[in-house]
A and B are shown apart, each in its own frame.
Chain A
């Protein structure tokens, strides 16, 4: 075999375990879901095999599903914006700090050592009626009765921000680290004050990181299931909760499959639009 041929084959050989895993664990199950989406659920809970469009028609025409999808996208958008606003200063601080950068990055990673569910449930102990926040306010005499802070949309967003903020900070940090500091020094030496330097040099150059963090936060936020279950009230369901309910509570796997595919299609479209305009390079850097 010639060297060229061997070199051409080598990446595929190295990639083959990952490709086989993706094929078996992602593509094949996805194909099953596609097939399932055309079946029907019978009265006993068993599946009726065939080619039926009933579930697709129901999901695509029923306002209920559309409204929950829009609510999901709205919650994910708000979460992303909050993460961006909170994450940028933190990422900037880490990127510009001198000796303690490694410690700060380690602190940023610390929450990942604790289960996401436990981190989400910890808010019950903080914001609950007998939680830390209410206890402190009552101890200081600011309130007489505990405030009802939990189980609403705000706490759902709070839980999501808690979960997603590190992803945003890391992406922005990577982007800020890539900026040539000489550009900022040049702007200052040409008379630009620090604010203008930030707005015209640093911020535009860090936008790819902000966008990559935004995409990650949005996609992960829109697909979340557990946060609204733990921290949400009766009206705070998200689209993934509908998938869970169809498959688990109603034993309607065909309907659950359609809902899953709709969510994948919507989030996939957003990723494709991002890729079309910004490319995936920055996202890969952030994830690395």
Chain B
């Protein structure tokens, strides 16, 4: 709520007879005194925040953020957004862990499990939601999962969502074959040397769970999963490590099939490549958020988050990065392109997507990431 709104409400109460004239004038005087005392310091405090650091996934995603959010925000507020990138959430967390408080401010994090890890390391902040009125446009389900972890408070705002499904070259693999084989296409002997795979241990174990007919959020036969990961590794050309590498491998036809991020595949399709995309049953759904790290200049960060959640900004970014925004389609008109993006849910309930259970994945993270690291290298 801004000061104008507060004044209007006070005036309304006075006019309605809820406040007598003396009390009304007294409150106005107190407000004036508070404003007079606060403003010089607040101005200098705000003036000190000349830039905010933002780290994201690079490539087309960062381009969209820069063009549609950071540059207009800097023009509007004078606060420069220093734009950094990372290749994986793990890599970024390591950098944050090594940094001094306040060095990193906002990150485009993926998955609730990452949010929980940051909370576990004491890196969460507490957003003042009054400063982010555009949060009202966000699909409530996306915020609720974060609130559960941080006792009803938020250290981030949900921003977009997508899936890690299967991308395939239609010249070599038909849509019918994909429908028939689903996740098991990644274990197809015929495609040996033409299969790719993300080097992320969670995605690998998720897909191995699907390939062994297990619940991706509750696998019970881990030996079967390790064996499947070894089979996949032996059929693989390369583990890819970034969205740019994924796009290059698919576009250059080095690989014919891999699991892939929905938005990146859409970008390839826009470029004219005949790459198909499908989410197998229980495919990996994820949501991304704009996470504010402890020690950041909160008001400037909140102002940026509010700017980025404004429907016009959010829609422009979503169209640029090819991931549906976290805005509730029942509250906001999302235009023409967004409903065509992979993983888009017109109802805003996201019931068709399976998200990673943070407790399940984070409990096993230490053991499984190490185990996968060994399998990846031939063991």
Residues of A within 8 A of B (CB): 41, 43-46, 64, 68, 124, 128-130, 148, 150-151, 229, 233-235, 237, 241-242, 245, 247-253
Of B77-85, B139-147, B368-376, the one contacting chain A is: B368-376
Looking at B88, B90, B193, B248, which has the most chain A CB atoms within 10 Å of its CB?
Answer: B90
CB-based contact B120/A44 at 8 Å: yes
Task: List 9 interface pairs A-B (beta carbons < 8 Å), by A numbering.
Answer: A44-B121, A45-B120, A68-B377, A128-B254, A151-B237, A234-B233, A235-B377, A249-B369, A250-B373
Expressed in whole angstroms, the Cα–Cα distance for A54 and B4 within the complex equals 62
CB-based contact B254/A150 at 8 Å: yes
Expressed in whole angstroms, the Cα–Cα distance for A241 and B377 within the complex equals 10
Given contacts A151-B238, A234-B239, A251-B97, contact A130 B366 (CB under 8 A): no
**Across-interface contacts of A249 in B (CB, < 8 A):** 88, 90-91, 201, 369, 373
CB-based contact A250/B120 at 8 Å: no
| B253 at interface by CB-CB < 8 Å | yes
CB-based contact B238/A251 at 8 Å: no
Expressed in whole angstroms, the Cα–Cα distance for A64 and B90 within the complex equals 23
Expressed in whole angstroms, the Cα–Cα distance for A64 and B373 within the complex equals 11
Across the two chains, which residue of chain B brings its CB closest to A232? B238
Expressed in whole angstroms, the Cα–Cα distance for A23 and B157 within the complex equals 44
| B378 at interface by CB-CB < 8 Å | yes
Across the two chains, which residue of chain B brings its CB closest to A233? B238
Q: How far is the CB of A118 from chain B (nearest CB, A)?
A: 14
CB-based contact A251/B94 at 8 Å: yes
Pick the contact of B370: A43, A45, A250 (CB < 8 A). A250
Across the two chains, which residue of chain B brings its CB closest to A68? B377
**Across-interface contacts of A44 in B (CB, < 8 A):** 117, 120-121
Q: Tell me the total A-B contact number using a CB cutoff of 8 A.
A: 77
Expressed in whole angstroms, the Cα–Cα distance for A45 and B234 within the complex equals 31
Expressed in whole angstroms, the Cα–Cα distance for A43 and B248 within the complex equals 36
Q: How far is the CB of A159 from chain B (nearest CB, A)?
A: 14
| B130 at interface by CB-CB < 8 Å | no
Pick the contact of B94: A64, A229, A248 (CB < 8 A). A248
Sample of 11 further A-B pairs with CB below 8 A, known A129-B252, A148-B237, A245-B373: A44-B121, A45-B97, A64-B379, A68-B377, A150-B254, A151-B254, A234-B233, A234-B234, A234-B378, A248-B91, A249-B201
**Across-interface contacts of B374 in A (CB, < 8 A):** 64
Interface residue tally for chain B (C-beta within 8 Å):
33
CB-based contact A233/B237 at 8 Å: yes
The 7 closest A-B pairs by CB, nearest first: A44-B120, A235-B378, A237-B377, A249-B90, A151-B238, A248-B94, A248-B91
Pick the contact of A148: B91, B120, B193 (CB < 8 A). B193
Expressed in whole angstroms, the Cα–Cα distance for A122 and B95 within the complex equals 28
Q: How far is the CB of B370 from chain A (nearest CB, A)?
A: 6
| B236 at interface by CB-CB < 8 Å | yes
Across the two chains, which residue of chain A brings its CB closest to B375? A234
For window 87-129 of B, CB contacts with A under 8 Å fall at 88, 90-91, 93-94, 97, 117, 120-121
Expressed in whole angstroms, the Cα–Cα distance for A45 and B93 within the complex equals 10
Expressed in whole angstroms, the Cα–Cα distance for A241 and B378 within the complex equals 14
**Across-interface contacts of B248 in A (CB, < 8 A):** 124
Q: How far is the CB of A48 from chain B (nearest CB, A)?
A: 12
**Across-interface contacts of B93 in A (CB, < 8 A):** 45, 251
Across the two chains, which residue of chain B brings its CB closest to A125? B252
CB-based contact B254/A129 at 8 Å: yes
| B72 at interface by CB-CB < 8 Å | no
Q: How far is the CB of A120 from chain B (nearest CB, A)?
A: 13
| B241 at interface by CB-CB < 8 Å | yes
CB-based contact A248/B90 at 8 Å: yes
Given contacts A249-B369, A251-B94, contact A129 B120 (CB under 8 A): no
**Across-interface contacts of A41 in B (CB, < 8 A):** 366
Expressed in whole angstroms, the Cα–Cα distance for A252 and B252 within the complex equals 35
CB-based contact B121/A45 at 8 Å: yes
Expressed in whole angstroms, the Cα–Cα distance for A124 and B251 within the complex equals 13
Q: How far is the CB of A257 from chain B (nearest CB, A)?
A: 13
Q: How far is the CB of A272 from chain B (nearest CB, A)?
A: 29
CB-based contact B252/A130 at 8 Å: yes
CB-based contact A45/B252 at 8 Å: no
**Across-interface contacts of A253 in B (CB, < 8 A):** 97
**Across-interface contacts of B376 in A (CB, < 8 A):** 234, 237
**Across-interface contacts of B117 in A (CB, < 8 A):** 44-45
Across the two chains, which residue of chain A brings its CB closest to B199? A249
Expressed in whole angstroms, the Cα–Cα distance for A99 and B341 within the complex equals 64
Pick the contact of B90: A43, A151, A237, A251 (CB < 8 A). A251
Across the two chains, which residue of chain A brings its CB closest to B95? A248
Q: How far is the CB of B307 from chain A (nearest CB, A)?
A: 31
Q: How far is the CB of A37 from chain B (nearest CB, A)?
A: 16
Q: How far is the CB of A127 from chain B (nearest CB, A)?
A: 10
Q: How far is the CB of A9 from chain B (nearest CB, A)?
A: 38
**Across-interface contacts of B370 in A (CB, < 8 A):** 250, 252
Across the two chains, which residue of chain A brings its CB closest to B245? A230
**Across-interface contacts of A234 in B (CB, < 8 A):** 233-234, 236, 238-239, 376-378
Q: How far is the CB of A59 from chain B (nearest CB, A)?
A: 13
Looking at B120, B201, B366, which has the most chain A CB atoms within 10 Å of its CB?
Answer: B366
**Across-interface contacts of A150 in B (CB, < 8 A):** 238, 254
